[in-house]
């Protein structure tokens, strides 16, 4: 399982990458593997205000439908519209082309409260 050291994680299996004060968000390699073949991604609207741990979208796979949760509170400023036509990118490249949205956090310090890579590895190994 791929768990990049430069990202932060949630217990709901989302990842966040800090980029110029904003957070690029997606689901982890662990989550995409557990879901199986992803066939549809529902993304939040750009401009939407989100609360930490609130549902911001859904991912549908051949196995199930799962909610995607915001790792922090803030405003969605960008969504990966390519996933509308190519949802399989979440399986193929969860930490790259398979990202879901970018959030401008209302509290910049919130990123630091997310799990680091080692804590996420421990979470997923139990």
Read off the pLDDT band of 120 (50, 70, 90).
very high
Residue 8, in any domain of the structure: no
**pLDDT score, position 62:** 93
Grade residue 1 by pLDDT with cuts at 50, 70 and 90: confident
Report if residue 33 sits inside a domain.
yes
Q: Domain residues for 76?
A: 14-107
Q: Is residue 4 part of a domain?
A: no
**CA distances from residue 70 to 7, 21, 99, 101, 112 in whole angstroms, order as listed:** 15, 16, 13, 10, 15
For the segment 13-40, the average pLDDT, to the nearest whole number, is 97
CATH of the domain at 48: 2.40.50.100
Report yes or no on 9 lying in a domain.
no
Number of domains into which the chain is organized: 1
Q: Is it the case that residue 41 has pLDDT exceeding 90?
A: yes
Query: Considering the domain boundaries, does residue 52 fall inside one?
Result: yes
Taking the C-alpha atoms of residue 65 and residue 2, their distance in angstroms, rounded to an integer, is: 22
pTM of the model: 0.95
């Amino acid at each position: 399982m791929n768990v990049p050291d430069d990202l932060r994680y949630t217990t709901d299996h989302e990842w966040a990458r800090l980029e110029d004060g904003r957070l690029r968000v997606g689901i982890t390699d662990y989550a995409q593997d557990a879901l199986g073949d992803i066939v549809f991604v529902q993304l939040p609207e750009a401009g939407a205000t989100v609360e930490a741990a609130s549902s911001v979208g859904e991912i549908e796979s051949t196995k199930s439908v799962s909610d995607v949760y915001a790792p922090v509170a803030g405003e969605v400023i960008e969504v990966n519209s390519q996933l509308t036509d190519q949802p399989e990118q979440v399986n193929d490249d969860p930490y790259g082309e398979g990202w879901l949205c970018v959030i401008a956090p209302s509290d910049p310090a919130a990123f630091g409260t997310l799990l680091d890579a080692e804590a996420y590895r421990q979470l997923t190994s139990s």
